[in-house]
Amino acid sequence: MTRYSVILGNLGNTCDRFLSSGYKDQPPKAEMIRQAAAIPGVTGVELVGTWDVTKENVDEVGGLLAKHGLSCVSIIPDHFSQKRWGRGAFTAKDPSIRAQALEETMIAAELARKLKCPLINLWPGQDGYDYAFQSDFRLERRWTIEAVAKAAKAYPDIRFSLEYKPKEPRTHSTWARAADTLLVAKETGLPNVGVTIDTGHSFVAGENVAESAVILSDYGKKLFHMHFNDNYRSWDDDMIVGSVHLVEYIELLFWLRETGYEGWYSMDQYPYREDGQGALRESVDFLRGVESLLEGTAMQEIRALIAEGDAVKSSAWLRKKIFGK
C-alpha cells in the first residue's frame, strides 16, 4: 500500500530570494503538524534538522507526531541554509567545515533513532561549483563518499539517501543526476546508502524520471526515497504535483509499482503564495488518482503496450484512460 508524507516546512512560510520574509505568516510547529495529519492519506512527515527538530526539542516533536498519528519518515540535515556552508559542506575546502557537515549528519541520525525514523535524506545543496577551475572533481567527490560512508557505518540501522539536483544554489551540483549519484552510493560499498529521486530535480536534469527509477532499482535496489513536485523543466519551481506533467507521472508510478518500490511518496514543494495545506492535499490527491488508473488490468495492459512499442496504441490507451473515451 502506498504511503504518503509531506515535508513539514512546506506548510509554513516558504520564502523566495526576492522577499526573504515570505508572503505568508509562519504558523507554529504544532499547527503545521496538525495540518499535515489532516491531509487525507498522509501518515508521515519529513523534518529538517535545526528547522524542525533539534536535540533540545526532539521529545516535544516526537510527542506531537504521536498525538496526531504521524511517523517521522526522514530527517534532512541542514547542509544548505547556513552561512558556514556557503562554500560547500561535504566538499568545502576547509576541513573544519567538512567535519561540521559530518557532525550535523551524525546529530540527525541520533535524532532519527529517538524518533524511530528509518532514513536520513542528504541534500548538500551548497556542494558544487559556479565557475571553471573552481572544483577538484576527483578530490571533492572522494570527500563526499568518505563522509557518507563514515556516517552510514556508524548508523547501520538507518538508511542514508542521497538527493541529487543539477543546479541551485550552485550553478553545478556535486550530486547532479541519478546515475552519477548512484555511483557515489555504490562506491561506499554499504547496503544502507542509496538515492532519493526528487521528481522536479530529475525534470530539470533532463531525465525521464521513470527511467531513472528503474536504473536505481535495477542496480542494487538503490532507490530509497521519493520526493514529488512539478516544474516546467527549466527550474526547480516546486509546484503542485501533476500541474505540468501528467503522462510522465503515469509512467513513473507504473514503474515504481513494477520495480517493487517500497519507500514513501513524500511531497516536497514550495507553495510560496498558495495555501500550503491545500497545495499538498492536491498533490496527494493527484497521485492517488494516478494510482487508481493503474488498478484492475491496467498494469498488464501497459506491459503489453511496452512490449509492442507502438506509440499510436500507447497514446490511444492513455487518452481513453484519462478522458474515458
For every residue of 64-104, DSSP letters joined together read HHHHTT-EEEEEE---SSSGGGTT-STT-SSHHHHHHHHHH
Question: Which amino acid is it at 51?
Answer: W
Which set of grid coordinates corresponds to residue 321? 484512460
Terminal CA-to-CA distance of the chain, rounded, Å? 29
CA–CA separation, 239 vs 236, rounded Å? Answer: 8
Provide the whole-model pTM. Answer: 0.97
- Is 267's pLDDT higher than 90? yes
Residue 1's pLDDT is what? Answer: 87
Q: Are 244 and 238 in contact (CB under 8 A)?
A: no
CA–CA separation, 248 vs 208, rounded Å? Answer: 8
Domain with CATH 3.20.20.150 in the chain: 4-294
Which set of grid coordinates corresponds to residue 161? 539517501
Which set of grid coordinates corresponds to residue 151? 556516517
Per CATH, the number for 4-294 is 3.20.20.150
SS3 297: coil
Q: Are 110 and 49 in contact (CB under 8 A)?
A: no
Mean of pLDDT values over 178-183 = 98
CA–CA separation, 256 vs 291, rounded Å? Answer: 11
pLDDT in tens, 109-118: 999 999 999 9
Q: Are 179 and 220 in contact (CB under 8 A)?
A: no
pLDDT in tens, 11-26: 999 988 787 888 988 9
Per the DSSP assignment, residues forming a β-bridge with 159 are 119
Distance, C-alpha 173 to centroid of its chain: 15
Indicate the Cα dihedral angle 97, 192, 267, 245, nearest 10°: 100
Residue 172's pLDDT is what? Answer: 98
Mean of pLDDT values over 33-45 = 98
Half-sphere exposure of 30 (CA within 13 A, CB side): 5
Residue 325's pLDDT is what? Answer: 87
pLDDT in tens, 181-218: 999 999 999 999 999 999 999 999 999 999 999 999 99
Indicate the Cα dihedral angle 240, 68, 80, 144, nearest 10°: -100
CA–CA separation, 293 vs 271, rounded Å? Answer: 27
pLDDT in tens, 58-110: 999 999 999 999 999 999 999 999 999 999 999 999 999 999 999 999 999 99
Task: List all residues 6 or more positions away from 309 whose beta carbon is below 8 Å from its beta carbon.
Answer: none
